Structure 1
C-alpha cells in the first residue's frame, strides 16, 4: 500500500490497517502516528490517517489532516472532496459547497464531488439547484444509490410521484437493503396506491431489509381498516414462519387482544417464553398484560 522499503513503517502500517478493520480507531491512529514520525512527509501515510480520523467521527481533525496533505500534494480533488464531506457531516453546508466546487474545478471527472455538491445544495434548501446537481451527479455516477434516493425524496416532496418512483426503483436496484429508501417507497405507495399496493410495498420492504416492523405495519393497516379476519390470518402466517421472533409473537398476540381473545393472546406469549425464556420476552408480555388491563396476571 505504501511506497517505502522501511521495515518499521511497513509493520506499523500493517498493524494500523488491522486495527482499522477491527474498528479500533484509537489503536490504528496510534500506530499510524508512529509510522508518520519515521516518514513525516509520506502522503500515503497521511491519507491513511485522514481515513482513520474520518471513520472515528473526528471531522475537525480530519480537515486539519487534509489541509496538511494539501501542502504536500496540492491540487488533488479527492482531498477537497473529502473535506467537503467532513463539512457536510458537521452541518456546515456553505463550506461543504465551497469545497465541492473547488474539487470539481481541480478535476471535473472526480464523481464523488458532484454528490457532495448536490447534498450541500439540498441541505441549504436550494431545491431546484439541488435537483439539477443530483442529475449531473448521476450522469457522472449512474449507479449511486444515495443520489437516486435523495433525488427521489425531492420529487416526492414536490408531488412528482412518477419521477420519485423511477428514482426509488433505481436506488433499490443498486442497494436493496437501505431502510430509508424502502421507507420512501412505502410512503410513495401510501400516497398514490390502494390498499394492495401499499401492503405489497410493505412486504417488499421486509424482503429487502428483513425488518419485521414492516410486517407489523401490514397488520396494523388491516386493523385500522377494520379487516380483523385478514389481520389475524396474516399475523398467524407471520408468526408461524418465524416462531422465535418476538416481534411476530407480539404482533399476533396484539390482534387477539384487540379481538378480546385474551386467553389466545396470552397463550402466544406463553408458548414463546417456553421456547425463548429471556428478559425481553417477559417484559413484553407484562407490558401487554398491563396494556390490556390484565393486572392480576401481570402481578403474578
Structure 2
C-alpha cells in the first residue's frame, strides 16, 4: 500500500499541501519544528512535468489548471489535453510549500487564484487573475516553508481560502489570526478586507470542497497533519468554531484533493498514499470503500462530465469514479 521511498520524497517535495504542518501530538513545539525542518532538508527540486497543484472545473467537462512553481495557468479539455495557448502566468514565490496553490472560476466570469507572492515576506494572497489586469482581493499572512494551505473555492457568491497553521499551531484556535482557518472573502472587497472565519483549529486544510451534505450545504475538509496528529475528514462550516462531524483517516494519506461523488460518497487523493480512495458515509462516519485509482498525488477535482481530474507527477489525467 505504500509508495517507494523515492516517490514519497518526490511527492513531499512538490506538493504545497503535503500533510506537513508544524507541531504534532505527543511532543513539544520545539520537537515538532525540528522534525519538520529535517523533513524539509531532504527535499529536492522536482524534475519532469510541472506539477499542477490548482484545478477548477469548467463547463463542458474541461478544467483550468495552475502549475505550482511556474505560475502557468492553462485550460485542458475533457480528456485533460491542453486547449489553446497559456492563459496567463502568475508571478509566484517558490521554496518549501509555496507557489500557485488554488484556482476558482466563476462560470462565465472571472478567475481567482491563491498564491504566495514574490518579494517581501512572500505573503499568501488572493487575486482576480483573469480577465486582466490582476486585481488583489486579499493580502494574507506571510507564507512559511510548510503548512501554507492556499486551496481556493467558490461557496455561493463568496470565495473560501484555506490557511494552514503556518508552523505556529498554537495560534489556530485564535479567531483573530489566519492560522489554521477556513476564511470567507468578498471577491469585490479590498485587499485589506477582514475575512469571515468559517472554521478554525485545522492543521492544513488544503483539501476542501463545497458539500451538499445530508444536513444542508456547507464545506467538507480533508485535513492533513504531520507526525502523530490525526488526519481527518470533517465539516468546515462551523460558524467560526472548531471542525465538526470528524472522522479520522488512516495514517500516511496527506490529503491533497477532495471531490464529492454523491452526498454520501467522496474521493480523497493522498500525496503520501499516492492513491485516490473512495469514502462512503455510513453510520455517521466516513468509511473507506475501495480504491478508485492507484495514481493520484497532487489533487482531484470533479468535472461536469462526471469524471475526476487527478494530478500526478506525470501530469493531469481523468478517471471514471
* TM-score, scaled to structure 1: 0.23
Tell me which protein shows more strand as a share of its residues: 2
| Structure richer in helix, relative to its length | 1
Bigger radius of gyration among the two: 1
- Give TM-score, length-normalised by structure 2: 0.22
Which protein, 1 or 2, shows the higher relative CO under an 8 Å CA cutoff with sep ≥ 6?
Answer: 2
